[in-house]
Structures are given as C-alpha cells and as structure tokens.
C-alpha cells in the first residue's frame, strides 16, 4: 500500500545555503508536505533546519533523500544514511533512494540494494526505492529486493522526454514513478503547443505540465525559489486534459534528456 502523503512535492536540486532554506520554508508554509533532497545536493542541513523551524508535525511530512554512489560499500552505506538523518534533524526518512546505479557496476547492485534494505529494517527509512534505473536495472533490482520493496523509481520525465517504455514497465510492476525535472529547466514552459493549450484552459504552462504528469499517474517534484510559483504549482486547477490533448503532448517527445552525466547508465529509448 503506497503512502497517501506521497503526492506532488518540492524538489531541491541546485538549491544551496540560504536559498535552499528559504525555498523549503516557503513551500511548507504554502502547504507542501513532500520534500525531496539528496546527499549530493549538499543541502540536507538547510532542508532539515527549514523543516524543524516549520513546527509541522513529523507525521504530516514525507521526506525523501538519496544515497550517493560513493557511499555504496558495506562499510559506508549505513553511516551515510545516519549522517543524512542528523542533517535533516529526523530519526527516519519516509523514502530512501539509490540516487544512481553504481557507475560501470563498480559495486555489485546486490551489495548496495541489500544495504538499502538494511536501512529500512533498521528503521532509518520507512520506504526504499531507486532512481535513474533503466528497465534492465529495475528488473535486476526486483530480483534482488522483490518488487514490494521498491516504492518508486525516480526518473527524468517531461514533455520532451516522456520515458514511455520505462514508465510503462514500472507501472505494470506497481512501482510508482516519480518524475523529476518536469519543466526541463524551463524549456517546455515556452513551447508553443503547451502555451496554447494552457491559455485555452486558463492555467499556466507549468500547471498544464503538472496536470499531464498527474494524468499519467506520475508523482512530480518541481523546484522553485519563488513563492508565487510554489503556490501556482500546488494549486488544484480542476482541469482535465482530453485524449486529443494528451496525444498532442505525446507528439512533443524528442528524447531531449537534461540529466545525462558521464556516469549515467545506457538509457532506454523513450518509446
């Protein structure tokens, strides 16, 4: 049973220092309860302080962080998670993810996935999952952990990279998809098709993209440092996109991947 509080959240990638603190604090003030961070973002302490200063009950929050591959070995993994919890000022995270598969399989997947499972068994994480895993890697993760232990696969999804094959595979196996970078660094927000559609519905292009993701049953975690964007992104518009509109957005898929570091796996094609 998926946690019902795992709804649209706020991402914190690229947010640092006071900006990270202020953005998370604003998001919590405006009603966000799902906050996503990661060890490599270097902002867990600021995220944790903003959460602590919010005085929101811990059981109302859904906090996600991710383990970086430099901590995948048996002698580092659990300590890295405990360090994250210290920075986040919490005894547990709601969701702990493997941020990226081990580059070139330098560390066997069974090693770090079993450490991930151990984190859950120790009570350091309520749920566990993966991020940036391909179909083949997700299949392997299922073999190691069992599908019931994989809460989500967090992957890049936006109208220019719809990741249809991978999304379909995960959802067929009852693994929730979390789509990060939903606006492709703002590129899709100036798209003529999306702007025309948003204008027709009297919503913003960002709200349109969020609705498109929702209708694909994808949880998303947009990031913003501006209060009006945070409010707008979270607002329930009441809009429902038609089959024709969904089909028109599907045509925008051009495999335009934004997150593609040199250690990335061999990606699946989008379709």
Locate 268 and state its tokens: 């699946």
Q: Classify residue 44: in a domain, yes or no.
A: yes
Q: State which residues form the domain around 49.
A: 10-250
Binding residues for substrate: 99
> Sign of the C-alpha dihedral, residues 61, 117, 79, 14?
negative
Mean local confidence (pLDDT), 163-176 = 98
Q: Classify residue 3: in a domain, yes or no.
A: no
Q: Which of 41, 112, 151, 160 is catalytic?
A: 41
Task: Report pLDDT digits (tens) over 24-55.
Answer: 999 999 999 999 999 999 999 999 999 999 99
Model confidence at 263: pLDDT above 80: yes
Instruction: Give alpha helix (H) positions in 15-90.
Output: 17-29, 44-54, 77-88
Q: Classify residue 186: in a domain, yes or no.
A: yes
Distance CA 212, CA 250 (A): 10
If you ran DSSP here, which 8-state letter would residue 258 be given?
S
Q: Classify residue 161: in a domain, yes or no.
A: yes
Q: Classify residue 206: in a domain, yes or no.
A: yes
Active-site residue flag, 41: yes
Which helix (H) or strand (E) element contains residue 156? Answer: strand 152-156
- How far apart are the two ends of the chain, measured CA to CA in Å? 29
Distance CA 218, CA 205 (A): 17
Task: Report pLDDT digits (tens) over 127-137.
Answer: 999 999 999 99
Binding residues: 99
Task: Report pLDDT digits (tens) over 52-107.
Answer: 999 999 999 999 999 999 999 999 999 999 999 999 999 999 999 999 999 999 99
If you ran DSSP here, which 8-state letter would residue 134 be given?
-
Q: Could you give the number of structural domains in the chain? A: 1
What's the predicted TM-score (pTM) here?
0.97
Q: Classify residue 266: in a domain, yes or no.
A: no
Residue 67 near residue 101, CB atoms below 8 Å: no
Q: What is the CATH number of the domain that holds 231?
A: 3.20.20.100
Query: pLDDT tier at 1 (50, 70, 90 boundaries)?
Result: very low
Q: Classify residue 40: in a domain, yes or no.
A: yes
Q: Classify residue 184: in a domain, yes or no.
A: yes
């Amino acid at each position: 049973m998926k946690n019902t509080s795992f709804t649209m959240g706020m991402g914190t990638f690229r947010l640092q220092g006071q900006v990270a603190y202020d953005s998370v604090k604003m998001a919590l003030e405006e009603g966000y309860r799902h906050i996503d961070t990661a060890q490599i973002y270097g902002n867990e302490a600021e995220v944790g302080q903003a959460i602590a200063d919010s005085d929101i009950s811990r059981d109302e929050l859904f906090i996600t962080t991710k383990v970086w591959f430099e901590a995948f070995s048996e002698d580092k993994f659990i300590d890295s998670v405990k360090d994250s919890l210290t920075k986040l000022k919490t005894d547990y995270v709601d969701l702990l993810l493997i941020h990226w598969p081990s580059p070139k399989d330098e560390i066997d997947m069974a090693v770090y996935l079993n450490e991930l499972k151990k984190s859950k068994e120790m009570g350091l994480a309520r749920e566990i999952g993966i991020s940036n895993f391909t179909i083949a890697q997700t299949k392997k993760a299922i073999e190691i952990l069992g599908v019931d232990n994989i809460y989500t696969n967090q992957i890049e999804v936006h109208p220019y990279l719809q990741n249809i094959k991978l999304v379909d595979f995960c959802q067929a196996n009852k693994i929730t998809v979390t789509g990060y970078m939903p606006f492709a660094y703002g590129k899709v927000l100036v798209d003529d098709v999306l702007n025309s559609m948003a204008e027709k519905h009297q919503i913003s292009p960002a709200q349109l993209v969020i609705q498109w993701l929702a209708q694909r049953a994808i949880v998303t975690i947009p990031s913003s440092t501006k209060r009006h964007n945070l409010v707008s992104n979270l607002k329930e518009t009441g809009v429902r996109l038609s089959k024709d509109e969904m089909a028109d957005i599907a045509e925008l898929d051009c495999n335009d991947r934004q997150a593609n570091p040199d250690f990335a796996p061999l990606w699946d094609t989008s379709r």
